[in-house]
């Protein structure tokens, strides 16, 4: 954990970038003081998670050394549930039932296994109440209420798997208690991170209910929202959650498997589109709540769908934006080039400094981002976002925030560049980045 501890020490009094505002207070649940780091099942495992697959990824996260650099979450995404022709099958209290053919030992046993590796366990849900719960009118645990008392059957919630989820009417008695019972179940299973997916503006009552329920469990559970959250509600997401997906999926769904699964996992257009949203959302990030750019597709080399230059640029953007670093790749087949990227403590430190960078140059394929840290240093990223042709990207120190000269270090290589006066330039290959630390003299 050396890298994380160092990053936290550096970031303790990090300064916000100019233009940032305190438009809303961050969630005060005490979690995610720095962006979460770990792995999520969706990109690679996709619709076919099993107990054995998740255990294998946990084993690899621990044995690869990534855990020692701060990657600690193992997050099980969608498709852990069981469905029938009417949607999700449910337990006696109307909550989704675990698909025991995939997870024969149950979720608690899986979480225990992950915890035994010194890691944390993440889980997945979407808003609403299942049609099967309403049809069966299942009781709400610990109350005299039932599913029909709280369901708004005139509206169906967004769900990507079994569908058939009704809205919950939170003006009805028993609604909060239903969410509480689900949160208590997850807490009893050992969940450390909960992603609630399919969230839109109409789901603010659900997010409020889940925030309240998770706090009431007494277990620290990092609360993440997904996906493509409307920026119009940014101050609400910031108040209630620890992270929020600012865009749709980073996966290209262009692999050769069913539903576009398999390699490639993504492509450059799905990554480069994040530059604009990262700039738009920058002001809302800070300790306790982060702009989530989605899974980091580094680990499996070029087959993930990006060149080495593009993968470094992806990591650089995520780090500059202080996004959660949740790997989407197959950790059981790590590529040595990518392992070197992911264990670069200088890059991790940029992500974990607790400051989201602002964009100061946006001209065609040329972009420059900057942030200032507590010791007075500036971290500056230069990008060529194009797919053909070299480009020389330049920035004046006055644009960065100071004047005169600076001692410059390349953060990818760790090499000192020396003293640079007035401005900095780099000629970059298509998709390449240059990440520097500038210490004003």
Check if 422 is active-site: no
CATH superfamily of 2-356: Aldolase class I (3.20.20.70)
| Burial grade of 402 (CB within 10 A; 0-12, 13-18, 19 or more) | middle
What is the 3-state composition of the chain as percent helix, strand, coil, each rounded to the nearest 5?
35, 25, 40
pLDDT, residue 76, reads 98
Assess whether pLDDT exceeds 60 at residue 223: yes
pTM of the model: 0.94
* pLDDT of 13 over the 60 cut: no
Provide the pLDDT confidence category of residue 217 given band limits of 50, 70 and 90.
Answer: very high
- Give pLDDT, residue 24: 57
**Quick check: 114 and 160 in contact, CB under 8 A?**
no
| Cα 408 to Cα 308: distance, rounded to the nearest angstrom | 24
Residues 391-410, mean pLDDT to the nearest whole number? 98
- Across 246-357, the runs of DSSP E, i.e. the strands, are 290-292, 325-327
Q: What is the pLDDT of residue 228?
A: 97
Range with the poorest average pLDDT among 14-28, 114-128, 163-177, 419-433 = 14-28
Mean pLDDT of the chain: 94
Res 9: pLDDT: 36
Average pLDDT for 254-282: 97
Pull the structure tokens for residue 97. 């039932």
What is the predicted pLDDT for the residue at 50? 98
Predicted pLDDT of residue 291 = 98
Give the separation between CA 263 and CA 248, rounded to whole angstroms. Answer: 19
* Candidates 91, 99, 249, 345; catalytic one: 249
Give the residue-averaged pLDDT of 60-71: 98
- 49 vs 77, 237, 285, 296, CA distance in Å? 8, 29, 31, 19
Report the candidate in 399, 381, 383, 391 with the shortest Cα–Cα distance to residue 435. Answer: 381
Phi and psi of 223, rounded to 5°?
-110, 115
Give me the mean pLDDT over the 170-193 stretch.
98
Asked if 179 contacts 126 with a C-beta cutoff of 8 angstroms, the reply is no
Token reading at 343: 């264990």
Given the residues 78, 197, 206, 330, select the one marked as catalytic.
197
Average pLDDT over residues 209-217: 98
At residue 224, the 3 state secondary structure works out as: strand
Active site residue 197: yes
- CATH homologous superfamily, domain 361-440: Golgi alpha-mannosidase II (2.60.40.1180)
Q: Are 230 and 200 in contact (CB under 8 A)?
A: yes
List phi, psi (to 5°) of 123: -140, 180
Distance (Å, whole) CA 427 – CA 430:
10
Q: Inter-axis angle of helices 107-116 and 51-63, to 10 degrees? A: 10
Beta strands across the sheet bearing 151-157: 129-130, 165-168, 151-157
Which pLDDT does position 140 carry in this prediction? 98
Question: What's the token pair of residue 186?
Answer: 């997850």
How far is C-alpha 319 from the geometric centre of its chain's CA atoms?
12
Do 150 and 105 form a contact (C-beta atoms < 8 A)? Answer: no
Can you give the pLDDT at residue 15? 37
pLDDT score at 2: 41
User: If pLDDT is split at 50, 70 and 90, which confidence band does 420 have?
Assistant: very high
Distance CA 160, CA 251 (A): 15
Write down the domain spans for the chain: 2-356, 361-440
Which secondary-structure segment (H or E) carries 53? Answer: helix 51-63
> With b meaning 16 or more CB within 10 Å and e meaning fewer, what string describes 105-114?
eebbebbebb
3-state secondary structure of 243: strand
| Mean pLDDT calculated for residue range 74-85 | 98
CB 106 within 8 A of CB 99: no
Interval 302-359: pLDDT, tens: 999 999 999 999 999 999 999 999 999 999 999 999 999 999 999 999 999 999 999 9
């Amino acid at each position: 954990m050396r890298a994380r501890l160092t990053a936290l020490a550096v970031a303790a009094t990090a300064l916000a970038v100019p233009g940032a505002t305190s438009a809303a207070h961050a969630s005060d649940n005490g979690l995610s003081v720095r962006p979460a780091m770990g792995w999520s099942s969706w990109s690679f495992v996709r619709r076919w998670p099993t107990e054995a697959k998740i255990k294998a990824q946990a084993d690899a996260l621990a044995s690869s050394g990534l855990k020692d650099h701060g990657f600690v979450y193992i997050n099980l995404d969608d498709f852990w549930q069981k469905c029938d022709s009417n949607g999700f099958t449910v337990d006696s209290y109307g909550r989704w039932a675990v698909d025991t053919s995939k997870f024969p030992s149950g979720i608690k046993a899986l979480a225990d296994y992950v915890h035994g590796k010194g890691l944390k366990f993440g889980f997945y849900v979407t808003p609403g109440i299942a049609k099967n719960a309403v049809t069966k009118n299942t009781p709400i645990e610990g109350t005299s209420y039932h599913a029909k008392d709280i369901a708004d059957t005139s509206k169906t919630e967004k769900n990507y798997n079994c569908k058939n989820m009704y809205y919950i009417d939170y003006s009805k008695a028993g609604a909060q208690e239903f969410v509480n019972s689900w949160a208590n179940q997850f807490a009893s299973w050992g969940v450390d991170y909960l992603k609630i997916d399919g969230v839109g503006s109409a789901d603010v009552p659900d997010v409020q209910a889940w925030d309240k329920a998770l706090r009431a469990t007494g277990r620290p559970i990092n609360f993440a929202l997904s996906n493509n959250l409307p920026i119009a509600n940014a101050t609400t997401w910031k108040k209630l959650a620890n992270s929020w997906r600012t865009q749709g999926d980073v996966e290209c769904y262009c692999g050769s498997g069913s539903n576009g699964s398999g390699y490639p996992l993504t492509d450059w257009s799905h990554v480069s589109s994040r530059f604009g949203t990262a700039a738009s959302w920058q002001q809302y990030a800070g300790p306790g709540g982060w702009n989530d750019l989605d899974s980091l597709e580094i680990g499996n080399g070029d087959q993930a769908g990006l060149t080495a230059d593009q993968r470094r640029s992806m990591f650089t953007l995520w780090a500059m934006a202080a996004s959660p670093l949740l790997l989407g790749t197959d950790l059981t087949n790590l590529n040595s080039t990518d392992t070197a990227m992911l264990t670069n403590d200088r890059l991790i430190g940029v992500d974990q400094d607790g400051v989201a960078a602002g964009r100061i140059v946006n001209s065609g394929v040329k972009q420059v981002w900057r942030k200032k840290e507590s010791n007075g240093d500036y971290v500056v990223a230069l990008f060529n976002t194009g797919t053909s042709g070299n480009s020389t990207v330049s920035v004046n120190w006055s644009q960065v925030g100071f004047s005169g000269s600076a001692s410059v270090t390349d953060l990818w290589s760790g090499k000192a560049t020396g003293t640079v006066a007035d401005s900095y330039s780099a000629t970059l290959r298509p998709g390449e980045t240059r990440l520097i630390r500038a210490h004003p003299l």
